[in-house]
Structure formats: C-alpha cells, structure tokens
Homo-oligomer: A and B are copies of this chain.
Amino acid sequence: MPLKLKDIAKALGLSVTTISKVINNYPDISQTTKKKVLEYVKQNKYKPNLQASFLRTNESKLVGIILPSLNHYFFNSVLEGLVDNAMKNNYMVIVLQSNEKYKKEKKLVEQLLNLNVDGIFITVSQETRNFDHLFEIQKNNKTLILFDKIEKSINCSKVIINDKQAAFIATEHLIKRGCKKILHFRGGLLPQISIDRFLGYRSALEHYKIPYDPKRVFICENGNDDEGYLNAKKVIEEGIEFDGLFAISDLIALGAIRYFNKKNISIPDQVAVVGFSNWKVSKLTTPTLTTINQPGKLMGEKMFDLFLKGFKANKNKEKINFETIIIPSNLIVRNSS
C-alpha cells in the first residue's frame, strides 16, 4: 500500500491539512514543521495520489497527442521532443493515431476530454473540414495546441514549419546549381503544407526569373513512393523536358529516383533531386538524397512549452496570449543534387 497523507500525519503527530499544505507549498507553515514534513516525505518517498488530487484540482497531469500515424519519421521525432519535455515537467503523454480520418479524430478528441487531460496537441487530419471538436476542447477549458497541419481559424497557440520558405530554399538550391526546368511533385490541392510548398517553389522561380510551367507540376495525393515512381514515368512518357526535381517528401523523391535509376537517367547530372523531411533513410539511399531538414524534436519541445504557458495562464485566470512559433528548417545537400 502506498503512503497516504493520513499515514504521514499520524507518524508526525500533525494533521492531514498541515501535511498537504507543506507538500503544496502553502506559505502559512512554520519552518520547523515544514522541514520535518519534507524530510519525512523524502525519506519515505511519498507521492500524492494523482487521481485523488485531480478530484479537487482538476489537473490530471496528462496531455494527449493525436498524430495521423504513429509510425512516421517526422511525427515520431515530434513525439520524442514532446515526451521528453513533458517528463521534465512531470507530465505524461497519451498517444493516439487518427489515420487521417475525420471521424476517428473526432472520437479520439472526445475520449481524451473524457479522460480529463490538461491539454491536447493535434495536427489535423487530411479529411478534417469541420472543426467543432477542436472548439469543444477549448469549451472544456483545456489547452489546445495545433501543430504542423493547423487550422488558422482557431484561436490557440500553434507551432508550424515555415513550409513556403523551406520550399523556396530547396528550389533556389536547384536553380543555383544551374537547373532551369525544374519539376515539382506536390501533394494534394487542399492540405496547407502542400499549398505552401508549392508556393515556395513558384516564388523561387519567380525570384530568379525562371518561367513557371504548370506542365512541370504533378500531384501526389497519397504520399507513397509509388506516386513518385509513376509521376516520373509520366514525365518521360509525356516528353516533358526537365533537369531538376523538387519533391514534397523524401518518399516521393525516392520513388522518382527509383524510376530514374531504372531508366539510367543519371542523378544529379541529368536530373538533380531534392526531397523534403530528412527522413532517416535519405542519407542511406543511392544516391544519398538532398533534402530539407525539419527539426521535429524541437517542434515537440516548443509545443509543450506553449502548452505549459497557456495552461498556467488559464489556471490563474490570466489573459492568454496565443503564440505561433515558426520552426526554421534547413537544407542538407547530398549526392542527388
């Protein structure tokens, strides 16, 4: 049986109230008592029962994160940063995956609220168009942090990657290398990250006075490597000229490379390729892949910082200043360009 306040009170000849006050650092306690209690607590490794505390304080010391997938290099690095930072602050993290489904995402939010987590971190799913379930989080007086795929209309703190700028840098790199006919394998038409990366590509072309040709842009809806492969095939079959490729993800880039390799189109001489994400494997492929590094771990850490800030302000009924943190990304040049 774990130690309870009652046990400590009995052992020290004090009241439960006094012990609780010492532990919660109330000011109206004599130094002698304080010392005595803290010593006993330390010696006997007393830990408050979190569920019992919750019943009075409404703080569960739990946070939840909803990811599209629990097995995805970038999201897992976000998770790492979040969990490490949470641990430092005595919080635990509950993980869930939405599989990019709106219905599942909605259900998971409900379940997290039912568990009385103090905060929820979420990157909205591909399918999500209705955001009532996210507003519900705030109505329940819990702290909501959006990251990566965010929804601008929601008033909360956010952490994002500057996708447009990163895509600009990637495209700029190809241009500086001498490429003039740069393909872009983009994502679907709706996701913000897909739009932003496309805009970064376009604005780099514009900045360097290279004409934009919509025929060089291909859509990869699902994000698997076969789409990269098939679009590369299409490019060749349609006789489109090219000397560079900026792909929305490493996976798409690798799919395209697979096709180029097959057709003996030499990389980077005939086509220079840049991916996006710095997936662990991108330094292991043949050729190794030039890519944009997104510091997911840093993102996860910042997310928890913002949660703590918001949670504390909320607790003290202070006005909350919502912030949007933009995480910088950087180009890693390897053999594919």
Question: Is A179 positioned at the interface, with any CB of B under 8 Å from its CB?
Answer: no
CB distance from A48 to the nearest CB of B (A): 9
Name the interface residues of A145-193: CB closer than 8 Å to any CB of B.
Answer: none
Q: How far is the CA of A94 from the CA of B91 in the complex (A)?
A: 10
Question: Is A73 positioned at the interface, with any CB of B under 8 Å from its CB?
Answer: yes
Contact assessment for B284 and A225 in the assembled complex, using a CB-CB cutoff below 8 Å: yes
Q: Give the A interface residue count (CB, 8 A).
A: 47
Contact of A94 among B69, B92, B258 (CB under 8 A): B92
Question: Is A130 positioned at the interface, with any CB of B under 8 Å from its CB?
Answer: no
Closest to A84 in B: B97
With contacts A51-B55, A96-B87 taken as known, whether A73 is within 8 angstroms of B71 at the C-beta atoms is yes
Q: Hey, which chain B residues are within 8 Å of A280, CB to CB?
A: 71, 281
Q: Hey, which chain B residues are within 8 Å of A79, CB to CB?
A: 70-71, 95
Stretch from A30-38, A111-119, A241-249, A304-312 contacting the other chain: A111-119
Q: Hey, which chain B residues are within 8 Å of A258, CB to CB?
A: 284, 286
Closest to A261 in B: B286
CB distance from A116 to the nearest CB of B (A): 6
Name the interface residues of A59-83: CB closer than 8 Å to any CB of B.
Answer: 60-62, 64, 69-71, 73, 76-77, 79-80, 83
Closest to A94 in B: B92
Contact assessment for B96 and A94 in the assembled complex, using a CB-CB cutoff below 8 Å: no
Q: Hey, which chain B residues are within 8 Å of A76, CB to CB?
A: 70-71, 76
Question: Is A52 positioned at the interface, with any CB of B under 8 Å from its CB?
Answer: yes
Closest to A258 in B: B284
Q: Hey, which chain B residues are within 8 Å of A96, CB to CB?
A: 83, 87, 92
Question: Is A47 positioned at the interface, with any CB of B under 8 Å from its CB?
Answer: yes
Instruction: Among A76, A93, A279, A281, find the residue whose CB has the most chain B CB atoms closer than 10 A.
Output: A281
Contact assessment for A116 and B286 in the assembled complex, using a CB-CB cutoff below 8 Å: no
With contacts A79-B71, A281-B284, A284-B281 taken as known, whether A51 is within 8 angstroms of B47 at the C-beta atoms is no
Contact assessment for B92 and A93 in the assembled complex, using a CB-CB cutoff below 8 Å: no
Q: Hey, which chain B residues are within 8 Å of A60, CB to CB?
A: 51
CB distance from A82 to the nearest CB of B (A): 9
Q: Hey, which chain B residues are within 8 Å of A16, CB to CB?
A: none
CB distance from A114 to the nearest CB of B (A): 5
Q: Hey, which chain B residues are within 8 Å of A261, CB to CB?
A: 286
Instruction: Among A76, A84, A255, A258, find the residue whose CB has the most chain B CB atoms closer than 10 A.
Output: A76
Instruction: Among A76, A95, A284, find the residue whose CB has the most chain B CB atoms closer than 10 A.
Output: A284
CB distance from A190 to the nearest CB of B (A): 25
Q: Hey, which chain B residues are within 8 Å of A285, CB to CB?
A: 281, 284-286
Closest to A49 in B: B116
Given A52-B55, A92-B111; 10 other pairs, CB 8 A cutoff: A51-B52, A51-B55, A51-B60, A71-B73, A71-B280, A80-B97, A258-B284, A280-B281, A281-B285, A285-B286
Chain A positions near chain B (C-beta within 8 angstroms): 47, 49-52, 54-55, 60-62, 64, 69-71, 73, 76-77, 79-80, 83-84, 87, 90, 92-97, 108, 111-112, 114-116, 225, 251, 254-255, 258, 261, 279-281, 284-286
